[in-house]
A and B are shown apart, each in its own frame.
Chain A
Amino acid sequence: MDGRVMAMSEIEFSLNDAFARSPLGLYVHVPFCASTCDFCAFYQTTPTRSGVEGYLNAVRQELELVRLRKPVDTVFWGGGTPGLLAPEDLRTLGDTVLGACGQRPAEWTIELAPASVTDARLAVLKELGVTRVSLGVQSFSHALLDALGRQHTREQVLKAYARVRDAGFASVNLDLMFALPGQDLAAWELDLKTAIDLAPDHLSTYCLTFEEDTKLWIKLSKGQVKLDPEHEARLYERTWDILDGAGYSQYEVSNFARPGHACAHNLNTWRMHEWVGIGPSAAGQHDCLRGANTADLDKWMEGIARGERMTDDRVRLTSGLLVEDAMVFGLRMNVGVDLQALKTRFPAAGWADLDRTLTRLSEQGLVERTEAVVKLSRRGRLLADSVGSELVGVLSEA
C-alpha cells in the first residue's frame, strides 16, 4: 500500500471513529405533489400508479445498497407530499423503512399536506410507529394561501389538525410562512395567534425565500414583488417574542418547540452527524461522503438499478469541512455550539484562529461566548449567514 492510500484510510478511520457513537438519521424523500406551489423549489412530480410502484421498489433497493453500520435513531419523511401516497403504499414504504432501521426509531416524522390528511392514512402511520406529524399550513388566510398557490383552505387545515390530534401522535408541528407578499405585521400576528391557539407541540416559521426557478422568483425578478429586509427583520423579531411568550422556546432560526419536542432528526444534521438520504433529490452525509441523489424520479430509479446513489454534489468528508460546517450550521441553534465537544471531536482544527474571529464577532455584538459555548446574539441571529461566512476558512485552514 502506498502512503497516500494509507493516509486516506487513516482519515476515514478517524472520521468513522468520530461518527461511531453519533446518532444516525434516515431521510426519505417522497417526490409526489398534486400541484406545484409558487414558492416551492423541492423536487416533486405528479404521481402515477407506475411511478409510485417504481418509487417504492427503488426505495427498497436503495436501502439495500446502503450498508447501515448502526441502527437508525430518527426517520424523516419529507417531500413532496408523503401524505399523497395511498394508505397501502404508505404501509409498504413504512415496512421497507422499518426493515432497514435495525430498531424502532425514537423519532419518526412525516410531512403532511392538510388536504391529504385522512383517518385511513393516519391509522396506517400510527400503526407503523410514526411519532411526529408536520403539517404544511403556511397560512390561515385564504387570500395569502391563494397567493401562494396552495391547494388547501383554512377549514381543511383546522379539520386536518383535529384529526391528527385525535389520532394521538406524540408530537405535532405546524409549518408557517411569513413576509408573504401582501402580509403586514398584523396579518402575520393573526396567523401566529391562530396557530398558538391550536396548541401544537412545535412550530416552524419560515420567512418567505425566493428560490430560483419558482413562480415567486419570476415575480420578484419582474419587480411584481419587492424584498424588504427591514420588514422581514421586524417580523422575525416579533415572531420570537410572541412565541417565547406563548411557551415555545426557539431552538433554531426558524424552529420553536415546547419542552421535549425539538426535532431530534434536524438537530443531528445541524451538529454534522450522519444521515442517509433515500429517494430522488434526497441528500445524505454518511460513510465519509456527502452528496445527493439525482433530482429526477426516472433517472434516480435507473441509477439505483445500476447500484449508483449520491451522484450529485458528491464530496468526500474531511475533518476540516465537518468542523467548519458544525460551526456554521450549529450556530443557527439557540444552544449554540459546544466548543469543548467540538474540540474533542476535531482536535486538529484551527482553534486559535477561530478564537480570534469569535472575539472580533463578540466585540461587534454578533456572538456571545463562554469558555465552552458560543452562540449567536439576537442581532447575530438575524445575520446568521454573514456571521457564518466570517467563519469560513478559519477552522478548516489549520
Chain B
Amino acid sequence: MDVSLTRNFCIIAHVDHGKTTLSDRLLEYTNTVTQRVLTAQHLDSMDLEKERGITIKSHPVTMVYPAKDGNLYKINLMDTPGHVDFAYEVSRSLAACEGAVLLIDAAQGVEAQTVANAHLATAQGLKIIPVINKIDLPSANLELCMKQLEDILTIPAEEAILASGKSGIGIQDILEAVVARIPPPRWSHHPSTRALVFDSLYDSYRGVITYARVFSGSVKAGDQMLLMSNNQKSEIKEVGVFTPKMTKTATLDAGDVGYVISNIKDTTDIKIGDTLTLARNPASEMLPGYKEVRPMVFCGLYPLESSDYEKLKAALGRLRLNDAAFLYSSESSLALGFGFRCGFLGLLHMEIIQERIRREHDVEIISTYPSVVYKVKAHGADEIEVDNPVNLPDPGTIEYICEPTIKASIHIPNESMGDILALIMEKRGMCDHTDTLDANRVMLSCVLPLNEILVDFNDRLKSVTHGYGSMDYELGDYVQSDLVKMDILINGDPVDAFSSIVHREKAEGKGRVLCEKLAEIIPPQMFKVAIQAAIGGKIIARDNVKEMRKDVTAKCYGGDISRKRKLLDKQKEGKKKMKMIGKVNIPPDTFIQILKN
C-alpha cells in the first residue's frame, strides 16, 4: 500500500485560539462537509463541548485534497482534547499524526497551552506548522507573534502562515503546507499489522467502536484482532473512516485513521494508547508510549433524591462506557445516604461528568469535596493509597502522608507578578524560575500540590490577571507533607461528608469557615448545638447553631386543633427526611448548601 499520498495531522492551540473554527473551514474547503450541512463548529458535537468551547471527545475526519502538485491527497485531521486533564489522550492523538498545525491567536500571542502543546508535539516527533490565526482582528500583532515564535518556541518565523479561520484567509496555504511539510505516515514497513487505539465510543446499536490509526499492515472485517495490552482477541465486524460520519470501507490500511467495530462488549477493555494487531501474525512489540491512565481526583456523588439512586447508577454506567478514564464504585455516607465514589483525570473531567449526569441523564446530584490520591504509610503496614479522608488510618499510627504535586507553567502579564507569587505561596507552591516571554509577559515554572489547585486556583489566576493569565501543568512527584484529617462535628458527632485531608497550617482557617457556614445554615435549634472542627481529638475551631428563642402558637383552641394537627403531621413527615446527627435533626439540603460552594 502506498502511503505517500496520505497525511495525518492535528491542530493544536491554546483554548479559544480558533482551532474548531479553522477545522470547520478545512472541512468546507475540501468539500468534506458542505456549507449547508456545516453547523457552526462541526467537530464539537456535544452540547457541553460547544458551550465550554473545549473538545472532550476526539473527532477524527478524513478529507480528500487535490494539491497544487497535481496529486489527490488523503488527509486525516485529528481533533485533540483541549485540556490538561486529558493530557494523555492528547498525547495519544498526537502520536497518531506526523505533523501538527500550531495555531496562535494573533491578538493574544503565545499562551501557556501553546507552549505545552508545542512541546508535546515535538516530543512525539511531529513536524510543526506554525499558523498565526485571526489576522482579521484589528488588534492582531503579527510582529509580536513572530518574535514569540522564535524566542519562546524556537520555530523560525518565516515558517509561519498567516490565516483567519473566520474570514477564510490562508486555508489553502495551510493545506499545501500539510502536504508539503508533513512527512508521509511513518513506520509503515513494520512486518506486522499495528494500529494505535486513540479513543473509543459506545453506541447502543453497534456496541463498542474503537478509534484507531493504522501504522502498518491493514485490518478488515472478519480479521481476528488482538489488543496487546491485555491480549484480548475479538473478531472485527466492520471497519471504516470518518467523513466525518462513519463510513464503512473494505479495509483500513497503513496510514489510515478510522474505526474498528468488533465483538468486544465492554469499553473498559479498550485502553487508550493500546496497540491493535492481528491474531494471525501478531506484532511482537507495541507502538511506543502506552501507559495505564489512573484517576487523580476523587469525589463522592450522591443523588439529591435518594429515590434517584438507581437512575444515577445507570447514568454512571453509561458514561463509563464512553470514558474508560472515569471510575466509580458504591459508597455510603451518614449525611448523604447511598452514592458513589468516583475517580476522574482532573477537575475539568470531574465537572464534565457531573454536568453530563445532570443534563443528559437528568439526575440531580450533590458532590462531596474533591480529594486527590494520597500515599499513606502507617506503622507496621504497607504504603496505601487513600482517595477518601474516611479511609485514612488512625492519625496516631501514621508514619507519613505523601501528596501529588503538579509542575505548572503559568503565563502572566508582568504587573501581576506580585499577586501571583502571593497566590502560589498561599497555595503552598514553590516557584522554580521565571522566564521572560516578551516585554509584557513572564512565564513562571512552579511546583504546587495538586490538592491546592482543585478548588479555585484557575479562577483566582484569571481574576488576579484580569483574564490574561493562563496555566498549563503536568503531574509531578509525590512529596511528603504535613497533612492531617480534619473532621467537622455537630454536637460532638462527626459529619463524614465534611471530613477532609488538609495541610496542618490551613486546617484552622478552613475549619473556622466551615463551622461558621454550618452554624448559619442549620436552622435554629431548641438547645445549644456546637459545631466544631477537629484534628484527632483536638478542637481547632468552633461555632454555635443559633438557639431558637420563640416558637409557640398564641391561640390554640378547639377550632385550631385540626389545623395544628395537620401542621404537626407535616413536620413529622419532614422529620423523616432529616438526617439525625448529634441528636440534631438536620434538613437534607444543609449539606448540599455547604457543598455547593
Contact = CB atoms under 8 A, between A and B. Distances in A.
Chain A partners chain B: yes
A283 interface: yes
A283 B568 contact: no
Interface string B553-597: 111111101111110110110010000000100000000000000
Interface in A11-44: 25, 27, 29
A315 B569 CA distance: 13
B561 A283 contact: yes
Contacts of B527: 364-366
A50 interface: no
A383 interface: yes
Nearest to A363: B527
A384 B558 contact: no
B552 A383 contact: yes
A130 B218 CA distance: 108
B125 to A, nearest CB: 69
A313 interface: yes
A387 B556 CA distance: 15
A149 B296 CA distance: 67
Of the candidates A208, A209, A364, A388, the one having the most CB atoms from chain B within 10 angstroms of its own CB is A388
A392 B571 contact: yes
A29 B555 CA distance: 16
B68 interface: no
Nearest to A290: B562
Given A364-B526, A365-B527, A383-B550, A282 B559 contact: yes
Nearest to B524: A229
Contacts of B554: 206-209, 253-254
Contacts of A382: 549-552
Contact of A290 (B526, B553, B561, B575): B561
Contact of B549 (A230, A269, A277, A315): A230
A29 B568 CA distance: 25
Contacts of A207: 552, 554
Given A269-B558, A282-B559, A365-B527, A253 B552 contact: yes
B548 interface: yes
Interface in B514-568: 526-527, 548-559, 561-566, 568
A103 to B, nearest CB: 21
A386 B562 contact: no
B568 A292 contact: no
A321 B571 CA distance: 16
B555 A360 contact: no
A300 interface: no
A385 B562 contact: no
A369 to B, nearest CB: 16
A383 B557 contact: no
B552 A285 contact: no
Contacts of A254: 554-555
Contacts of A230: 549-550
B143 to A, nearest CB: 60
B552 A389 contact: no
Contacts of A392: 568-569, 571-572
Given A389-B572, A393-B572, A381 B562 contact: no
A381 B550 CA distance: 9
Contacts of A332: 556
Contact of A385 (B551, B558, B559): B551
Contacts of B526: 364, 366, 383, 386-387, 390
Contacts of A385: 551-553
Contact of A269 (B557, B563, B569, B572): B557
Contacts of A281: 559
A386 B575 CA distance: 12
A206 B552 CA distance: 11
Contacts of B550: 229-230, 232-233, 236, 382-383
Contacts of B575: 389
A337 interface: no
A328 interface: yes
B572 A386 contact: no
A290 B566 CA distance: 13
Contact of A284 (B551, B558, B564, B571): B558
A383 B523 CA distance: 14
A266 interface: yes
Given A275-B558, A283-B561, A392-B569, A229 B549 contact: yes
Contact of A384 (B553, B559, B566, B569): B553
Interface string A354-398: 000000100011100000000000000111111111101100000
Nearest to B559: A283
A206 B555 contact: yes
A277 B559 contact: yes
A393 B578 CA distance: 15
B552 A277 contact: no
Nearest to A235: B550
Contacts of B548: 383, 386
A27 B558 contact: yes
Interface string A128-156: 00000000000000000000000000000
A329 interface: yes
Contacts of B572: 389, 392-393
A315 B568 CA distance: 15
A325 interface: yes
A313 B568 contact: no
Residue from B557, B558, B569 having most chain A Cβ neighbours under 10 A: B558
B562 A283 contact: yes
B553 A329 contact: no
A25 B558 CA distance: 10
15 contacts: A207-B554, A232-B550, A253-B552, A254-B554, A254-B555, A269-B558, A283-B558, A283-B561, A292-B559, A315-B562, A366-B526, A382-B550, A386-B526, A390-B526, A392-B569
Interface of A: 25, 27, 29, 206-209, 229-230, 232-233, 236, 253-254, 266, 269-270, 275, 277, 281-285, 290-292, 313, 315, 321, 325, 328-329, 332, 360, 364-366, 381-390, 392-393
Given A207-B554, A209-B553, A253-B556, 13 more contacts: A27-B558, A29-B559, A253-B552, A254-B554, A266-B557, A283-B558, A284-B558, A285-B558, A366-B526, A382-B551, A383-B550, A387-B526, A392-B571
Interface of B: 526-527, 548-559, 561-566, 568-569, 571-572, 575, 583
8 tightest A-B CB contacts, nearest first: A233-B550, A364-B527, A313-B562, A384-B552, A269-B558, A283-B559, A207-B554, A206-B554
